[in-house]
Amino acid sequence: MQNCWLQDTFQKMIQARGGAIAVAQLHAVLDVVELIIESEGFHGCIFVNAAMEVPLPHEPAHVAASQSKQAIEDILYAIAVNVRADEPRSLARELCLIMEGAYVTSMFPAAKTQSTSPAESPIV
């Protein structure tokens, strides 16, 4: 039930922006998130929205959202492993939190006038 197209597209965007070098890919992650947020037609992350609207973990929409989140985290984990991060799973989870926060924050009109660029995060 995973959205392989979305995950493949996200991974290809990271590779296109960061090239073949893992450190550059890590730095590209938040740039890619910013591109997604600023793209025409972006109305928030469908999976974050689904998880909020359907909070029961056994519901199909919530299951799909959870699987997508895990797949994105796994992509980030692989990059973190390749850069030899001390705690690659923790880094991947932290990046997911930043991404999800950026997706949600971008939906508020006041955020458009403030810097909401996830690439400005001090973590990466």
| Mean of per-residue pLDDT scores for the chain | 88
Closest C-alpha to 100, from 75, 79, 118:
118
What topology is assigned to 15-119 in CATH? Tetracycline Repressor; domain 2 (1.10.357)
Domain chopping of the chain, boundaries: 15-119
For every one of its 124 residues, what pLDDT tens digit does the chain have, with 9 covering 90 and above? Answer: 456 878 899 999 999 999 999 999 999 999 999 999 999 989 888 888 888 898 899 999 999 999 999 999 999 999 999 999 999 999 999 999 999 999 999 988 776 656 556 666 565 5
Cα 27 → chain centroid: 13
Q: What pLDDT, on a 0 to 100 scale, did the predictor assign at position 119?
A: 62
Prediction pTM value: 0.83
Q: What pLDDT, on a 0 to 100 scale, did the predictor assign at position 6?
A: 82
CA distance 37 to 124: 18
Instruction: Report yes or no: 79 and 64 within 8 Å, Cβ to Cβ.
Output: no
